[in-house]
Chain A
Amino acid sequence: MAQGPVRRAQRRLPLEWLGILPFAAFAVLFLILPTFRIVTGAFQDADGGFTFQNLLDLNTDSIRSAYWTSIKLSLITAALGCAIGFAMAAAVVFGGLPKVVRSPLLTFSGVASNFAGVPLAFAFIATIGPAGLITLELRDMGINLRAYGFNLLSFWGLVITYLFFQIPLMILIIIPALDGLKKEWREAAAVLGATTAQYWRMVALPILFPSLLGTFALLFANAFGAVATAFALTGPQLNIVPIKLFAQIRGDVLGNPNLGYALAFGMIVITIAANTIYIWLRVRSERWLK
């Protein structure tokens, strides 16, 4: 008799977990195993033996500069995306603008944050490329962008293009956070004699800080992994990590398949670092915005 409930509990536990078996199988097959394959490949030599050589081989001028350019590109577009997105969101939420601008801005942000990749590159080529609309208009006005050293197919060209999906993503995430700032906090600060600047510096920004930094990390990872926009804009020659990896997968340009694993492994390490910061800060910021 005493065995009955115990045995039933033992039988029931695995049966309930069976319910997420399809999902677990999918995750293992198409997320975990492929990632695991990259990680193990990064530590294997051509014969399958364990080695650190691949990671050491990453230390060449060309690969180092690719990582550096990628990190710089992601940091700058994330920082500018956050700053500009925040300014636009704050203008809409607190700036006394008519309520009608808010909903279209959110809708447009949803569209623009998804309008990345190949077509986005085309749009910018048509606008500030060598024969683009703005380039030609400015030339008619006597301003030659080329002579000022501007080139769309360069690092800064890439920055301007990436901002088209970075800023809207920031707006989409930060507007709910700004809405979460309670009016009482501002009033309480005012009652205690705080100026607007003091309110922002000592109340609002500390509360928003985790969610700002968290979004920054998300934007960083977003730019770091992007391939299509850069590839359609500049072709295979621009030296950033995702483009290099793309060329390596297509045709082993590094001349060493295992080095490809190491290159991909480095990308995972960097995006995991960025996202760990994101998730950690997200959890912290949600405590405040309940």
Chain B
Amino acid sequence: MTRLISWTILVLGCLYFILPLVGMTEFSLKMRRGEYSFDAYRKVFEDPRFWETFSYSLTLAAATIVVGVFLVVPTAYWVRLKLPQARPFVEFVTLLPLVIPAIVLVFGYIRLYNTSSWLPLTGSALGTDILLTMGYTTLALPYMYRSVDTGLRTIDVATLTEAAQSLGAGWITILGRVILPNVMVAVLSGAFLTLAIVLGEFTMAALLNRPAFGPFMQLLGANRAYEPPALAVIAFAITWGCMGLMQLVSRLAKHERAKA
């Protein structure tokens, strides 16, 4: 009896999740009248804006990951090693992006860093890109920090540091060659999640007027019929890829550890 109810709940739930995926896939194949074809995908891939916006977002994602790693790894390491009393403050800050909606943050950016302010970031394309990267870094901060902090918990930070120091290593060497390789799995899974977030992000990029992938998808959605579901299929595949890589990395790490 319990099992029957369980199966019913699970099947109904799965139906709800699978139908939209089937729907978008089927719709994306219907561009040619009367038969299924990949015409919509061809149209998308032939559109130069697709590649421009996609590589723009990819570049920004890479920048976000680099900034995030440089920001989070030393901070989380330092808090663990020397400043446990700063933990509540740091954790509170990393939770803030979940509390303050992205649209409110970007509104603050626009007013704070406009052309007549002390730091006129929105005045130039490069400045706006930097601002957007920082915005994405804040969006990814809760996930990146949690991931790296959990990674640090599994290693003995103090002993590793002392060992490296007694061999004559400086702080940069310790961070780059001792700590970072040890939390690489955590960093990578944070990085893949960041990639998924940045590639699909719409609000910040649209309001800062940058040619990112999210606003491009929205624009296409407002004007076309068959390309949007094709884009949705592509976006879903990308999200799936990012999550899959995340799992793969942590599984490989477990394997390594089991061998060692």
Contact = CB atoms under 8 A, between A and B. Distances in A.
Partners in one complex: yes
Contact of A33 (B82, B100, B108): B108
Contacts of B243: 107, 110-111, 114
B6 interface: yes
A115 B236 contact: yes
Nearest to B227: A122
Interface of A is mostly: helix
Contact of B13 (A33, A88, A107, A133): A88
A262 to B, nearest CB: 12
B97 A23 contact: no
Interface of B is mostly: helix
A133 B231 contact: no
B54 interface: no
Given A107-B243, A112-B17, A126-B27, 9 more contacts: A16-B83, A19-B83, A95-B6, A96-B3, A114-B196, A114-B200, A126-B229, A227-B102, A264-B107
10 contacts: A16-B82, A38-B108, A108-B17, A115-B236, A122-B229, A124-B20, A228-B200, A232-B217, A245-B103, A249-B107
Chain A's interface size range is 35 or more
A246 B5 contact: no
A143 interface: no
B38 interface: no
Interface of A: 16-17, 19-20, 22-23, 26-27, 29-31, 33-38, 41, 84, 87-88, 91-92, 94-97, 101, 107-108, 110-112, 114-128, 131-134, 163-164, 167-168, 218, 221, 224-225, 227-228, 231-232, 235, 242, 245-246, 249-250, 260, 264, 267-268, 271-272, 275, 279
B44 to A, nearest CB: 12
A260 B111 CA distance: 11
Chain B's interface size range is 35 or more
Contact of B2 (A95, A120, A279): A95
Given A31-B100, A95-B5, A107-B243, A260 B107 contact: yes
A114 B28 CA distance: 21
A120 B232 contact: yes
Interface string B95-106: 111111111111
B239 A127 contact: no
Nearest to A96: B3
A94 B10 CA distance: 12
